[in-house]
């Protein structure tokens, strides 16, 4: 007879691996199924120092970011993180293999889930070779597109943020400080860029833009990233032959809003598929790590009670609302305003305002912890007038 798992986790990205790790020492039988043949498209991500400690990620930290800058044609403004604050740069590749060992290789690669159905009242996942996997519930960690929950009738998160990143080798930089940079509209139209020295002559660099106000294609982002590297005096990159670029990632991320629902009967959504890491200025992975821990506790309880109904799983949504929903309203409003009403002039006015925040306040903004005081500092009469006139234009455009 075919084995029936308590839980099937679909996707071996940060979300799938984190929840698998949390389930490992609980009384729950599970398997992770991953469509690719190995941990695919892994890259490096910045996570707050406090989260690195909380989730035991020290061994995967490759660098610590000490400052952020604003780059405008006229000037470069620098803010330093405080002594305890800051961002650690984590190697997702390394993290994946560490977790793989911790969960004793319970990952089935090359298993792309094509369909989900109920067979004789039991939940059944069908892969592309028509193999069946039976389970009591699914944790959808399938990332952008929410391929699993959409099959179960839950709409996932919208995709709006474009990111391009390179890993560079054999390069040198004049400025070796570890930094994140926010750029004016000559480089990004709504987003940021980063250069992080890895080991020796290796660097990780990237740029991200939100849309729809600007819909950057790959070529446009490539041009902007190259220009950014020239401005930051990274030497040795031969872009025409791309010899020094050892890895290129061009990806959409859900940056707009969380999915309307995170749970359904026999289903929990986690990570990008739920649109959880959607804080306005990025750094969303801490939400994944936190929610993975919560999901594991709730799943264990469901297994104990043999109840996988929406009402049994609903405390997962309640936790989100209580811990992350607090600032979600401000995040949502800000994102909608940027998406619909910003143009280059408005973006530059905001970069100017961001620059007026203290280091501590800016760190709160990075974490998307807006207070009324911070929001007040970010607003200005000129920006308000600009947005109002853009609003009139949008309304007028819609009418005609």
Ligand X SMILES: Cc1cc2nc3c(=O)[nH]c(=O)nc-3n(C[C@H](O)[C@H](O)[C@H](O)COP(=O)(O)OP(=O)(O)OC[C@H]3O[C@@H](n4cnc5c(N)ncnc54)[C@H](O)[C@@H]3O)c2cc1C
For 196-215, letters b (16+ CB in 10 Å) and e give: bbbeeebbbbbbbbbbebbe
Q: What are phi and psi of 5, to 5 degrees?
A: -90, 155
Q: Which is nearer to ligand X, 26 or 43 (CB)?
A: 43
Contacts for 323 with CB less than 8 Å, ≥ 6 apart: 290
Q: How far apart are the first and last CA of the chain?
A: 64
| CA pair distance 129, 19, nearest whole angstrom | 26
Nearer residue to ligand X within complex by CB, 137 or 387: 137
Beta strands 76-80; 67-71: pairing state? antiparallel
The residue nearest ligand X at its CB is 13
Degrees to nearest 5, angle at CA 291 with 301 and 6: 40
Q: What count of Cα atoms within 13 Å lies in the side-chain half-sphere of residue 182?
A: 22
Scanning the structure block, which residue is given the tokens 């995709």? Answer: 159
> Quick one: CA torsion of 47, 50, 53, 57, rounded to 10 degrees?
0
CA-closest candidate to residue 251, choices 221, 226, 230 = 221
| Least distance from ligand X to the Cβ atom of residue 321, Å | 20
Would you say 24 or 380 has its CB closer to ligand X?
A: 24
Nearest distance from C-beta of residue 233 to ligand X, angstroms: 22
Q: For ligand X, which is the closer residue by CB, 263 or 346?
A: 263
Nearest to 361 by CA among 375, 349, 340: 375
- Nearest-approach distance from CB 174 to ligand X, in angstroms: 23
To ligand X, the closest distance from the beta carbon of 62 in angstroms equals 12
Q: How far is the CB of 100 from ligand X (least distance, A)?
A: 13
Identity of the residue, 72 or 368, whose beta carbon is nearer to ligand X in the bound complex:
368
- Comparing CB distances to ligand X, the nearer of 161 and 349 is 161
| Environment class of 180 (CB within 10 Å of its CB; exposed 0-12, middle 13-18, buried 19+) | buried
Residues lying near ligand X in the complex (CB under 6 A): 10-16, 33-36, 40, 43, 45-47, 112-113, 141-143, 147, 163, 165, 206, 249, 251, 253, 271-273, 277, 282-285
Cβ-based nearer residue to ligand X, 114 or 353: 114
| Least CB distance to ligand X at residue 208 (A) | 7
Tokens representing 213 are 């106000």
CB of 204 to ligand X, least distance (A): 9
Q: How far is the CB of 13 from ligand X (least distance, A)?
A: 2
Residue ranges of alpha helices (H) inside 146-189 are: none
Q: Which CB atom, from 69 or from 163, has the smaller least distance to ligand X?
A: 163
Please, what is the angle between helix 285-305 and helix 315-323, to 10°?
150
Give the residue with the Cβ less far from ligand X, 223 or 377.
223
Closest distance to ligand X from the beta carbon of 24 (Å): 17
């Amino acid at each position: 007879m075919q084995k029936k798992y308590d839980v099937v986790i679909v996707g071996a990205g940060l979300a799938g691996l984190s929840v698998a790790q949390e389930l490992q020492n609980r009384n729950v039988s599970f398997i992770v199924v991953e469509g690719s043949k190995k941990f695919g498209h892994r890259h490096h991500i910045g996570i707050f120092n406090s989260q690195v400690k909380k989730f035991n990620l020290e061994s995967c930290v490759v660098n610590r970011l000490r400052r952020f800058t604003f780059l405008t044609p006229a000037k470069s403004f620098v803010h330093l993180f405080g002594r305890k604050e800051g961002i650690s740069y984590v190697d997702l590749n390394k993290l994946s293999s560490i977790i793989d060992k911790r969960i004793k290789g319970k990952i089935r690669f090359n298993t792309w889930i094509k369909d989900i159905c109920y067979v004789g009242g039991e939940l059944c996942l069908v892969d592309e070779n028509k193999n069946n996997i039976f389970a009591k519930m699914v944790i959808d960690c399938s990332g952008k597109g929410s391929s699993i929950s959409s099959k179960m009738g839950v709409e996932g998160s919208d995709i709006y943020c474009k990111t391009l990143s390179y890993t560079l080798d054999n390069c040198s930089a004049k400025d070796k400080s570890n930094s994140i940079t926010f750029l004016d509209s000559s480089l990004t139209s709504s987003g940021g860029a980063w250069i992080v020295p890895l080991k020796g002559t290796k660097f990780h660099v990237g740029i991200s833009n939100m849309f729809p106000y600007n819909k950057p294609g790959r070529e446009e982002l490539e041009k902007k990233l190259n220009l950014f590297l020239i401005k930051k005096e990274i030497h040795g990159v031969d872009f025409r032959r791309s010899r020094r670029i050892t890895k290129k990632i061009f990806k959409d991320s859900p940056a707009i809003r969380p999915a309307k629902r995170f749970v359904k009967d026999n289903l929990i959504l986690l990570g990008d598929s739920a649109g959880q890491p959607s804080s306005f200025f990025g750094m969303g992975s801490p939400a994944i790590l936190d929610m993975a821990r919560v999901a594991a506790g709730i799943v264990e309880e469901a297994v104990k009670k043999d109840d996988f109904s929406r009402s049994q799983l609903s405390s997962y949504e309640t936790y989100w609302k209580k811990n992350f929903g607090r600032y979600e309203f401000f995040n949502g409003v800000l994102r909608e305003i940027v998406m619909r009403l910003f143009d280059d002039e408005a973006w530059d006015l905001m970069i100017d305002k961001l620059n007026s925040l203290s280091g501590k306040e800016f760190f709160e903004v990075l974490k998307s912890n807006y207070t009324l005081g911070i929001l007040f500092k970010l607003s200005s009469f000129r920006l308000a007038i600009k947005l109002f006139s853009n609003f009139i234009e949008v309304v007028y455009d819609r009418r005609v």
